[in-house]
Structure 1
Amino acid sequence: MELTPSGAIEVSNVSNVIAWYGPYTTLGPGYYNVTFLISSSSSSPSDRAVLQVTSDYGKSYLVTLGITGPYVGAGRWVEVSVPVYVSSTQDGVEFRCAVQGWSGSLYLSRILVTWEGQAPSSISTVYPATQMWTANGSSYSDGMIVATNASRIMWYGPYATLYPGSYNVTFWIDGNMSTSLEVLLQVTSNYGNTVLAQGAVYGRNVHGWTPVTLQVNLDSTQQGAEFRGWAIGLDGTVELGNVTVEGHVR
């Protein structure tokens, strides 16, 4: 880790490291918006990291959110914001970045923490396809994820945090696949170990961009949430545009 002449943190060609951490501050009860201003010298599909807000000196996760090279892009500054709900005072709070692998340089200019008052009663969040992680031959194309003749998992991530409440999670799907073949969509938490909701979409039901909605009801905060797509004998092409999460926080 280095400091650039402008005061930004720079890490280059790293993997499986915490790129930055600290400053061990305190957050009182309430709702916050935490914005990371980041940049990258590359936009490789293999560039992957997870932004984290933690407390108790890294022992407790308050919120996480994944990023990728195509999501950040190359040669531009991007604001990545995450909501943080705090029910009791949290000490030793850090704003971290856990890098799985990043080619080129990843920069942090600043982190802005804004207190928004009490938690909102409703939320609406859009996760672009470029924020998901690709697998098994799927790839990014024009802001989408495209998988052709795929098998097994096609995309996963972005390791978001879902608070107690009721949500509609909508996958926007397009493609050209056999009418009888199936794509399994899942909402999971705990890094894929817990399935919160799942449903199938068949080729015969996809005509242009098609919304597929799963309902999720949560009694407790779920960390490491993913919006996954599985191919079950896919013959043809399926595309993911984005995933929207809309609902009411309890």
Structure 2
Amino acid sequence: MYLRRITLLKEKINDYSIYPFSLPLIQRMDMLEVRSPVTFFVGENGSGKSTLLEAVAYQCGFHTAGGSRQNTYEVKSAEAALGDHIRLSWLPKLTEGFFLRAESFYHFANHIDETDMTNYKYYGGKSLHQQSHGESFLNLFRHKFTSIRESAIYLLDEPEAALSPARQLSLMRIIHDLTPRCQFIIATHSPILMGYPEADIISFDEDRLQRIDYRDTEHYQITRRFLENPAPLLRELFND
């Protein structure tokens, strides 16, 4: 374990009516202990899980549109608005790692084409734009992540956005291979990824941030209900 605690510095917040301080996260969080090498942030859209992950990336020195400490490029609205309002507690502190932000991955791929073409080996041997979305994500995990030999922290914001169910399982294997020396914090809606053994799942949907069992997540329950017997759920959905 490396990152041990995330503390929200509420004394630095002056106006709770503006974003992101208006998010439910701000009312629900004071301090969050990180207890597992693999931690999932789960919750509905707008609950604040991606905003908190982005703030952690900012405090780690990673580019908040995606990348590591070595990646510097301009992207509109890439600032982490919550970044200066949290404190990270480490033992020991990590400086290596990567922040994957699915929604701005296109800009990261542009950055690599413009500045790092000699190192395509870290991204599957060719431009990320010359690969399918899923291939580019998986090659980043397979080559870039595994090329870092030191202990590292990987922050992944909805990595399932580009991955088929089979490739989500491939990501789980990569996580398994790296966790002896690495730490992962993942914001996700994927009931497949959440099933990673012995992961810590933090729900952002209750009155306060709290740990939740995999089978108690809404993601698992809705998915299971649909797969086992979709007809009643569809009738409920389509009938007024």
TM-score bracket relative to the smaller structure: under 0.3
What is the TM-score normalised by the length of structure 2? 0.25
For CA contacts below 8 A with separation 6 or more, give which structure has more relative contact order: 2
